[in-house]
């Protein structure tokens, strides 16, 4: 992958002999401390750059209304001297109130903790971020215009390969296309809580956005899409209209037959390159088809709700999806189960309602012979789930009909990512 860091002066052979590489890296780890920088005799341009590059590698700088002014002070200094701005690889800019910050309750409320900043005013000022590859924009409320798009193009367009729009309301589908156009190097796109013109947008009802007039989508290798049904249908219809894209990882929500059919059409065009499929919202498996995904290696499904209030079809969701798998390359299946936390007797009955027999029956098919991991990640009651699983797979194992090793089955507790809904 292309690096946009400025080159640093490597250690000379004399210094390499004197200071082993391990000690060099160890010293660098301390050079992000300001007092150390002022007093350390090793402080020089080469060491500073190496230190900041080491410190910021793989990390994301979060910018919001409470720290934007402080950041702009550093940006101003960066115009005249070396600062960390040039080494930031991941940037998350949050415009409005989020679950992490106090909401802006009323426009007349004053106080530095209750202020929001506008992208149109501030994004043009975020210059000098020449190494940013991952960009996340959050909590935009339909109040951005052309200055935002121009700033994305001028300040970040050369290097950004990964974009996330999280809790964003755009003025129109056209603005969405303009944002993508401003970042021509995109290979990864995540859409979470995206709305276009605050309502339904598709090729029949969105004025001025008939698919024939839309630009081609970027050549995405990763596409994460956790948005409303209507917007999802529009996005997938748009991509299909322009042909296939070389996607390797796809994450989607399955809401109903209509949305699923649009996603399946996308898979029929681009499924041959997909290796990983993640289902983040498991509401309905009807009309969802993984048959075109001939290279799929990893399939993750969740949350699967097991309770009296579960969506219809939750018990058979996993079985229904696995029945559509045609690939012999599948190596890993992850099922994220949400179970009642209480210790009431109802837990066993909820688990009994899960389609264990159907699941075991499908997994006996020869096409699953390369499975190395079938993992159930559960919110609670791991012991009870393990017992229910073993009850149904033990007879199949004893009969020798399972085409893969029984040790592939696992039951574990939720990870932090799975609890948050993304993995």
Q: What is the pLDDT of residues 127-150, one digit of tens each?
A: 999 999 999 999 888 888 999 999
Q: Which residue would you say has higher pLDDT here, 386 or 311?
A: 386
Distance from C-alpha of 217 to C-alpha of 196, rounded to nearest angstrom: 16
Single pTM value for the model: 0.83
Residues 6+ apart with CB under 8 A from 21: none
Please compute the mean of the pLDDT values over residues 391-402 and round it to a whole number: 92
Q: Could you give the percent of the chain with pLDDT greater than 90?
A: 58
Determine the average pLDDT of the residues in 382-389. Answer: 91
Tokens for 43, please give them.
């402080």
Number of CB atoms found within 10 A of residue 379's CB: 19
Query: Cα(368)–Cα(297) distance, rounded to whole angstroms?
Result: 11
**The pair of three-digit structure tokens given for residue 187, joined into one six-digit string:** 């290979």
> What sign does the dihedral 140-263-248-297 (CA atoms) show?
positive
Check whether 65 has a pLDDT greater than 80: yes
How far, in Å, CA of 340 to CA of 347, rounded? 7
Furthest C-alpha separation in the chain: 74
Mean pLDDT of the chain: 84
Looking at the chain, how many residues does it have? 423
Query: In the chain, pLDDT over 70 holds for what percent of residues?
Result: 77
List the alpha helices (DSSP H) in 157-256.
173-182, 229-241
CA distances from 196 to 202, 227, 233, 295 (A): 10, 11, 12, 33
The predicted model gives 398-403 an average pLDDT of: 93
Contacts of 48 (CB under 8 A, 6+ apart): 31, 37, 82
Distance between CA atoms of residues 37 and 78, nearest Å: 17
d(CA 369, CA 402): 8
* Structural domain boundaries in the chain: 10-57, 297-423
Task: Look up residue 332 and give its DSSP letter.
Answer: E
Q: Percent helix, strand, coil in the chain (nearest 5)?
A: 40, 20, 40
pLDDT of residue 150: 97
- Most confident by average pLDDT, 27-36, 298-307, 309-318, 403-412: 403-412
């Amino acid at each position: 992958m292309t690096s946009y860091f400025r080159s640093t002066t490597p250690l000379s052979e004399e210094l390499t002999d004197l200071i082993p590489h391990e000690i060099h890296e160890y010293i660098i780890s301390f050079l992000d401390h300001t007092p150390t920088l002022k007093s350390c005799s090793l402080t020089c341009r080469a060491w500073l750059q190496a230190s900041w590059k080491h410190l910021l590698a793989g990390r994301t700088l979060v910018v919001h209304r409470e720290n934007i002014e402080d950041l702009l002070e550093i940006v101003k200094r960066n115009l005249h001297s070396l600062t960390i701005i040039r080494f930031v690889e991941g940037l998350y800019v949050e415009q409005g109130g989020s679950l992490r910050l106090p909401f802006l309750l009323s426009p007349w409320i004053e106080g530095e903790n209750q202020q929001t900043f506008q992208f149109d005013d501030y994004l043009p000022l975020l210059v000098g971020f020449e190494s940013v590859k991952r960009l996340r924009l959050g909590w935009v409320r339909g109040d951005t215009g052309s200055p935002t798009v121009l700033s994305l193009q001028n300040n970040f367009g050369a290097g950004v390969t990964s974009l996330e729009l999280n809790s964003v309301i755009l003025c129109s589908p056209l603005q969405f296309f303009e944002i993508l156009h401003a970042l021509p190097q995109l290979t990864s796109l995540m859409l979470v809580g995206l709305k276009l013109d605050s309502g339904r947008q598709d090729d029949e009802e969105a004025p001025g956005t008939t698919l024939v007039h839309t630009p081609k989508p970027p050549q995405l290798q990763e596409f994460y899409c956790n948005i409303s049904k209507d917007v999802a249908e529009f996005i997938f219809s748009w991509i299909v209209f322009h042909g296939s894209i070389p996607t390797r990882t796809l994450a989607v929500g399955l809401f109903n037959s209509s949305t699923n059919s649009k996603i399946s059409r996308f898979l029929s065009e681009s499924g041959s390159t997909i290796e990983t499929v993640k289902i983040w919202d498991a509401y309905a498996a009807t009309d969802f088809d993984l048959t075109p995904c001939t290279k799929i290696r990893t399939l993750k499904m969740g949350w699967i709700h097991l309770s009296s209030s579960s969506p219809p079809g939750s018990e058979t969701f996993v079985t229904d999806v696995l029945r559509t798998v045609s690939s012999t390359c599948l190596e890993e299946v992850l099922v994220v189960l949400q179970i009642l936390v209480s210790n009431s007797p109802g837990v066993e009955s909820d688990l009994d309602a899960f389609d264990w027999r159907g699941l075991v029956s499908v997994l006996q098919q020869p096409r699953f012979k390369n499975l190395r991991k079938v993992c159930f990640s559960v919110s609670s009651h791991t012991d009870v789930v393990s017992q229910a699983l073993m009850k149904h797979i033990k007879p199949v194992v004893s009969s020798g009909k399972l085409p893969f090793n029984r040790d592939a089955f696992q039951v574990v507790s939720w990870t932090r990512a799975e609890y948050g809904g993304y993995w």
